[in-house]
Structure 1
Amino acid sequence: MTPRLTSAMLASALVRRADAAAGSAMVLAKGDATSGAILLLLLDRGANPRFVERGIGPDGTPTLLPSGPREMVDEAEASAYWRRRRERDPDLWVVELDIAGAERFAAETMNLC
Structure 2
Amino acid sequence: MEGRLPAHLEVAGLIRMIQDKGGFATVISRGERDAGTVLILTMYRGEEVTLFERMPQLDGSRPFIAAKQQNDENKEEFGEYLERRKRQDPDIWIIEVDIADAERFIASLPH
Query: For the superposition of Structure 1 and Structure 2, which TM-score range results when normalised by the shorter chain?
Result: 0.7 to 0.9
Helix, strand or coil at the partner of 1:97: strand
1:28 Cα shift? 0.4
Percent of aligned pairs with the same amino acid: 32
Given that residues 46 and 98 in structure 2 are in contact (C-alpha distance below 8 angstroms), is that contact kept between their aligned partners in structure 1?
yes
Which structure 1 residue ranges, 5 or more long, are not aligned? none
Q: Which runs of 4+ in 1 moved over 6 A?
A: none
Question: In structure 1, what is the equivalent of residue 39 of structure 2?
Answer: 39
Q: Deviation string for 1:83-107 (max 9, x for gaps)?
A: 1100111000001111123233235
Residue 72 (structure 1) aligns with = 71
Please name the residue that 2:19 is paired with: 19
Cα-to-partner distance string for 1:23-62 (whole Å, 9 max, x where unaligned): 0111000001111111111112220111110111354422
Distance in 1 separating the partners of 2:83 and 2:11: 18
SS of aligned partner of 1:82: helix
The CA deviation at 1:108 is 3.4
SS state at 1:39 partner: strand
Structure 2 match to 1:102: 102
Quickly say closer, same or farther: Cα 1:6–1:30, change in 2 above 3 A: same
- Matched length: 110
- 1:84 aligns with 84
Runs (5+) with no aligned partner, structure 2: none
Q: Quick one: distance in 2 between partners of 1:108 and 1:4? A: 18
Task: Indicate yes or no: 2:62 matched with 1:62.
Answer: yes
When residues 71 and 77 of structure 1 are mapped into structure 2, their CA distance, relative to the original with a 3 A threshold, is same
Residue identity in the other structure for 2:96: E
Residue 50 of structure 1 aligns with an amino acid whose one-letter code is T
